[in-house]
Structure 1
Amino acid sequence: MDYEYLLNRDKSFINRYKLNRRSEEISKVISKFSPQKKLSLLDIGSADGYLLSFLNDRLNLEFSVGIEPCVDCIKAKSFKNITLLAAAGEALPFSDESFDAVVAASVIDHLKDVSEFLNETRRVLRKDGLLVITAIIPFYDKLANMFGVDKGLHPHIKTYTLSELKEILLLHDFKVILAKRFALPSFGLIPFERNIELVLEKLRLSYLMFYSIVVGKRL
């Protein structure tokens, strides 16, 4: 994450909403697929640690740590219940099979070597451990750039459709146990967006949503 974006993030209601909505969805899927289990969790691309702090407060975590390549972002950390290390997702400074869950929220579209990243996440996950990935879909990325919604964010190297994310995980020996879209684009619908999402889900119209979440299980 760019430090400039981090500084501007909390000034934008839309960006705060997106961050919180993403955090809620990640917490929900981890709770669903790892119920009543003390987890060790790694958050990749933690920025200042907002998501990691959110998960620490809501999940039954025995141990958690976040990594972030932007040292200035780590220095901006204001959450007291988390640990952040300066490192990149393509070279994780952890032993094999160290974690029950790895989270990478809005990370994969910024990576130059996605294959190395997935190999590393698989290496540090224990058997049956979860990899949770969220990503913006290509259409919304173009829309956001057009309207300057994510101004200041480091440009995406590549964006991925839901089908592409599933295929990538399968190619790296993960079993895909969840793949869906969630959230709306935050263009003036707040505070009614979540209600609209629930209606779309009930009507099986989730394909109209603008973010992807994929959960892979390490085999």
Structure 2
Amino acid sequence: MLVASPFLASALTAPGTSEDPTLILASSDVESSARLLIRAATLAQRAGRLNEALRLAHAARELARGFPYEEIACAYLAVLWGERALLRQDRGALEEAQELARHLRGRLLRDGDLQQLRLQLALFTTPGASSRLSQLTLEVWQRPELILLDGSWHWARSGFIVKSLEALILTTYLAQARELFRAFEREVASFQLYEALRWEWNAIRLRLFAPLEERRTFRRLACARGYLRQAIIAL
């Protein structure tokens, strides 16, 4: 696995813990290595290093070609290209994300996972996608069997909820995001399961409801801890 990256080094030296769980299964040597690359890509995305995350996720997909885990790498690549499209107003990146999403057939991912990804991408261009994404998110909360929860994609249904909220915020559907957030206000404990999830949930809460000064304070703390993506979401 010849991929040089400080985030890969972090993934190798800090395997899954209760504070930042990552599942690396010994299903095969190839799949285990691909999972490690995706973990490194996740760390890079969190730190605001989107190009590095794309490189690592692409390497994971190439490594996992022909294995079931290829679908996870392909889906994560679609997520990253979608984020690049949003942050850089890059039409070509959106087209790349949409093309990757078309390759997904539910070999590992479940129907709720596939619908969420496609609706996230549809937020850019399709009226009504925000309402459908909110409806799907509420349904998944009641029926977690609709999504993959073995750690390959999500660790908990609360991770699914966070991703929907982040997508609505980043595409400026703030009223829709506030309405969806309020549906989970009494479920705070579900969003405190591990450190990364806590930062994600707090960034969302502050962006939707907190005054600017409080959000700026959070931004400084998030940047200091390496959660640059959450710093962006909070502001």
Query: Is the TM value for this pair above 0.5?
Result: no
What is the TM-score with the length of structure 2 in the denominator? 0.33
Tell me which protein shows more strand as a share of its residues: 1
What is the TM-score with the length of structure 1 in the denominator? 0.34
Q: Which has the higher contact order (CA 8 A, sep 6+)?
A: 1
Tell me which protein shows more helix as a share of its residues: 2
